[in-house]
Amino acid sequence: MHREYFDEAYSIMHAKIEYAIMIFEFTFPLFFALVIDIFIIYLSHKYHLFLDEAHTEKPQNYHTHTTPRAGGIGIAVSLFFFILISPLGVKLLLPVVLAFLSGIFEDFHHSLTPKHRLALQLIAALSAVWLTDAVVTYLGLGITLPYWLGVLFSMFAIVGMMNAVNIIDGFNGLASGIILLILLSFGMTAYRQENVDILHIVLITGGAVFGFFLLNFPKGKIFLGDGGAYLLGFIVAITGIFLASNYEAVSPWYVLALFIYPVWEVLFSIVRKKYMKRSPLEPDADHLHMLLYRQLTKNNPLTALFLLAMNVPFIALSTLFPNKSTTNIAIAVGFIVCYLLLYRFLYKKEYLSL
């Protein structure tokens, strides 16, 4: 009787300690990122650093006040400080630094050429795959890749997601909100698989991103910048690859279904520009979030809220069925259909009525 009572008390105490650690891992990075980004806002305006001028003529310009584009610094510093508590985090430290550097130079003084930026991203991806052995070789549905092809596929997925997050970073809270939803799903999946390392990284990253989010949404006091967008794209990509490559209960299609909005935005943008005989690398004002802003919401934070709400049901469904490849393929296809219908409606409203 006493033994049973002791075991029950120990289990309760152990659970409370685990929850306390999880709260610490989320709240302290949140606080650090928030304080650092407030400091960055102050320094940027005082010394004219990292500023995105409101009057600059470019397709993606939808803000009305000159704003620092270095919110990724607060997130990065929080990650560098706290990620070392996890053995997996120690392995990811170098790749995380490289991923962040591939964008922060652009935020600082536009000093990195596209080729050099891509080279840094590829090195970050290769080092992450090599140090963590996170390689997707089984794609589900009976499809298995040779290991060398799995390495290339994983590197391509990481670099692709880094740039995809950067592309959707157009309105207050949009990119960081999508990342928070993805991390929430990954956290639940990692908890089910009892992977403490991944759960640590998800909580730390989620806290840091939420600290930034509080300053970015709804007022847009600071932007992610290329450094922040590439960093977050890298983190969620390597997390998804690690889960899919280490657990049979986690399908690669679950990861794709979670990423489907930024991934499809990139793929659709490439096809759309090719069809219009324009370079896929040429920026334009016809991404979904831009059309949505001009033709429907006419409000910066409301545009982000609309797209976040649009993503929630699909991410929730994928989270319920992380091991079902066919279900997640259907979820991804369902999102693409909704995207195309909305895009067609907005495009016709803007261009065919002229």
**pLDDT of the residue at 18:** 75
Length of the chain: 354
**pLDDT of the residue at 59:** 53
Neighbour count for residue 54 (Cβ, 10 Å): 12
Tell me if 252 sits within 8 A of 135, measured CB to CB.
Answer: no
Separation between Cα atoms, residue 286 and residue 211, nearest integer Å: 30
> Residue 129 is which amino acid?
V
**pLDDT of the residue at 85:** 82
Which residues pair with residue 68 across a beta bridge?
51
Question: What per-residue string of b and e applies to 1-20 under the rule 16 or more CB within 10 Å gives b?
Answer: eeeeeeeeeeeeeeeeeeee
pTM of the model: 0.94
How would you class 110 by CB atoms within 10 Å of its CB: exposed for 0-12, middle for 13-18, buried for 19 or more? exposed
Crossing angle (nearest 10°) for helices 225-246 and 174-192: 20
Spell out the per-residue pLDDT of the chain, length 354, in tens.
556 655 565 566 656 777 888 888 999 999 999 999 999 999 998 888 888 776 665 555 666 678 899 999 999 999 988 888 888 889 999 999 999 999 988 877 666 788 889 999 999 999 999 999 999 998 888 888 999 999 999 999 999 999 999 999 989 999 999 999 999 999 999 999 988 889 999 999 999 999 999 999 999 999 999 999 999 999 999 999 999 998 888 999 999 999 999 999 999 999 998 888 888 778 888 999 999 999 999 999 999 999 999 999 999 999 999 999 999 999 999 999 999 999 999 999 887 765
Which residues pair with residue 268 across a beta bridge?
none
**pLDDT of the residue at 55:** 60
Torsion sign over Cα 242, 245, 246, 247: positive
**pLDDT of the residue at 121:** 96
**pLDDT of the residue at 65:** 75
> Residue 256 is which amino acid?
L
**pLDDT of the residue at 38:** 96
Instruction: Note the pLDDT tens digit of each residue in 201-224.
Output: 999 999 999 999 999 999 999 999
**pLDDT of the residue at 30:** 96
**pLDDT of the residue at 12:** 63
Tell me if 125 sits within 8 A of 158, measured CB to CB.
Answer: yes
**pLDDT of the residue at 307:** 98
